Amino acid sequence: MLHRDQPRTSAPAVGARGPRIVASVLPADLARLGEEVAALEAAGVDWIQWDVMDACFVPNLTFGPDVIAAARRHTALPFEAQLMVANPDVLIARCVEAGCERVIVHAESTHNLHRSLMHVAESGGRAGVAMNPATPVEAVVNVLDLVDLVLVMTVNPGFGGQAYLHSMEPKLRAARAAIEATGRTIWLEVDGGIAPQTIVSCAGAGADVFVTGSTLFQDPQGPAHAVQELRALAAQGMGQRQA
């Protein structure tokens, strides 16, 4: 559990396209969710990701729109929902209504990805598209005009605390190239095993949004320290890529 009294470090001003540090609430104490999201805000995360799981698309079951809505009034941070569910279309509008600015749809989870992403916009949200490790970037190149974020999973979805898949870094470079070819501003997000030991190389491969759960909740110096350290290392990796 995070403690609200964690001092918020003076995180460096985040540039327009500087690294974004995003909290997964998967490790949070769900019995104290309001306090946990308030503590994440105090720690300086940029937004919160809700891992919505249905025990079908992934072998785990978590929370849905009602829980997200309950947490909404406890923080001003933006919310995004990652729909790790077998039928995302039935949850898109409800996640937006619950307070998510963005809804991320897995390319593998819908028979018509283009229509599902259109549904996010029709519901008033911003759309993101996610890929499991085995899914090639080609699966999303035809929907990049519909999204403001691409999520490359660096673990197999379902659980926190897994080992980062270094093998995803060529895919990150390919996704970054596909995004740059559009000429549009699209975030490239990674999720799974993001830690001080892994964030520099995935930033160097093209990521600029970093979702983390274990590192935030397990840092012995508190979440604010984790945010500050990850942000600095991510900026280092991004700088190496752009050099």
Q: What residue ranges bind ligand DX5 (CB under 6 A)?
A: 24, 26, 51, 155, 157-162, 191-194, 211-215
Least CB distance to ligand DX5 at residue 181 (A): 27
Strand partners, 176: none
Least CB distance to ligand DX5 at residue 184 (A): 25
Cα–Cα distance list, 7 to 38, 94, 125 (Å): 12, 34, 32
Element of type H or E holding 36 = helix 33-43
Comparing CB distances to ligand DX5, the nearer of 61 and 181 is 61
**Is 145 an active-site residue?**
no
Helix 33-43 / helix 65-72 crossing angle, nearest 10 deg: 60
**Is 5 an active-site residue?**
no
6 close to 227: Cβ distance less than 8 angstroms: no
Q: Residue 222 corresponds to which tokens in the numbers above? A: 């508190």
Least CB distance to ligand DX5 at residue 154 (A): 8
Comparing CB distances to ligand DX5, the nearer of 84 and 96 is 84
Please identify which of the residues 51, 54, 208, 219 carries the catalytic annotation: 51
Comparing CB distances to ligand DX5, the nearer of 48 and 137 is 48
Comparing CB distances to ligand DX5, the nearer of 85 and 96 is 85
Q: Residue 121 corresponds to which tokens in the numbers above? A: 């916009």
Cα–Cα distance list, 27 to 24, 31, 49, 130, 160 (Å): 7, 12, 12, 21, 7
Please identify which of the residues 89, 145, 148, 191 carries the catalytic annotation: 191
Q: Residue 103 corresponds to which tokens in the numbers above? A: 């809804």
Least CB distance to ligand DX5 at residue 33 (A): 15
Q: Which residues are catalytically annotated?
A: 51, 191
